[in-house]
Amino acid sequence: MTGFNAYLESLVQSMTVEKNTQHIIEIESVTAKGFGVGNIDGFTMFVDGALPGDRLKIHVLKSKSRYGFGKIIEILSPSPHRKESPCPVFDRCGGCQWQNCEYSAQLSFKKQIVIDALERIGGVKNPPVADVLGMLKPINYRNKAVFPIVPHDNEHGFAIGMFSARSHRIVEIENCNIQHPAHVAVLKVVKKYMRRNKISPYNENTHRGIMRFIMVRTSLSTKEIMVVLTINADKLHVEDKLAKDLEGAGATTVVISRNTSKNNLVLGSHFRVLSGSGFIRERIGHVTYQISAPSFFQINPVQTKALYETAVLQAGFKGCETVLDAHVGAGGVSLYAAKHAKKIIGVDIVQEAIDDGEKNAALNNITNMQFICGAAEEVVPKLISSCDSQSQLEIDSENIPDIVFLDPPRKGCDPALLNALISANIKKIVYISCDPATFARDVKILAEGGYVLETVQPVDMFPHTGKVEVTALLQKGGTE
């Protein structure tokens, strides 16, 4: 059962409401997916676009044994937090959910989402969740965007934009309040190129066509812009001319990612630099990060600094600690924390991320970091056990970490990783998460292994969406 499904199950009651019926409902709360939550005679309903305090007339789209989903037919009485959205495609685009909601209310909703997940899934009573750290200006904050290119019945035969929520219906966008302004200019160049050269979009049903995705990454500090074009081919027609046109729109590097597999992955496994360096650089506080196409990096540089500062404070460094970062990416929080620690070992499953991490350490003159490529659930148990001759590091007592950073993908940590940390009696774990449900699930496992959740600091990395990042401190046996 996924984290979100577990969350749904924890909310619902036992009655059933029939599909395609209409009802009056009052919205009481929201979920991390952006649904408003209410009930009809005890039956839990999740309603797209609804806010706490709304009184609505809804149509039931789907009804399961214990909960259902509905859409708004009429707002009978609006939430006091509701406002006019500045986005013309807000009700159709799946990029965000809450541009119709006052920002201060969004922050309070997100705090409650974290609390609910920890109580319902994690089994934590009165979880120590602080107020959410919000943005001063919560607009144009995304430094990365992915735009699918799909067949369409318009005059050009294709569309570029964002998928509508929970569907593959494309919504073309001319502007976006949460994306960096440079992203839209890139889309215009690619659209013009495809029309002029009759380049076909990829069809995920027939697996034919060339253009699949456009990924744009932008640096706030250096103003560098990376454009990655995912194609179902080895190369593009007049691709050098396309690269020059993209440079004219601000791109400092253009990369081709070949993905000829029959899947919906954004990036393939092969990358070719068409122009520029193949990477961009971003500065977070005192650290410069070099980021290549496949490397993970936080999408909101302003809030990333707040996140990393908080994580370092939670770790409580004294300068003599050995640190393990189980999901190090291109260096992430470990590079930021390196000046406070004696030694840091970083693990990541993506070789390109490890390569970037090593380059970033050198770029910042950081000499107390080592990197290992591999799955955390496989590498970490070996690192913190007695000895393994096949390991990429010499195993000794100095490699037993005093502090562990966990920053897993949305699915959370593998149980094998958590169990290894529990068995090794790691003193402190600083857990950074982008999903409250899987975070709460993992907290429960760690609590059963003797860890106490000391602090939880939510950070609004994703304004106008239901998503929220957290950084939390767990200590073995509690505060000393």
Q: Which residues are catalytic?
A: 434
Distance CA 52, CA 61 (A): 20
The tokens describing 466, both together, are 């239901």
Report yes or no: 468 and 423 within 8 Å, Cβ to Cβ.
Answer: no
Longest dimension (CA), the chain: 68
Residue 198's contacts (CB-CB under 8 Å, 6 or more residues apart) are none
Report yes or no: 458 and 439 within 8 Å, Cβ to Cβ.
Answer: no
- 408 to each of 15, 49, 107, 329, 411, how far by Cα in Å? 36, 29, 23, 10, 7
The tokens describing 397, both together, are 């007592």
Distance CA 223, CA 253 (A): 12
Report yes or no: 45 and 69 within 8 Å, Cβ to Cβ.
Answer: yes
Report yes or no: 254 and 227 within 8 Å, Cβ to Cβ.
Answer: yes
Distance CA 141, CA 237 (A): 33
Distance CA 124, CA 8 (A): 17
**Pairing label, strands 22-30, 55-63:** antiparallel
3-state secondary structure at position 233: coil
- Full 3-state SS string of 283-305: EECCEEEEEECCCCCCCCHHHHH
- The single-letter DSSP state of residue 343 is E
Alpha-carbon torsion (447, 451, 452, 455), positive or negative:
negative
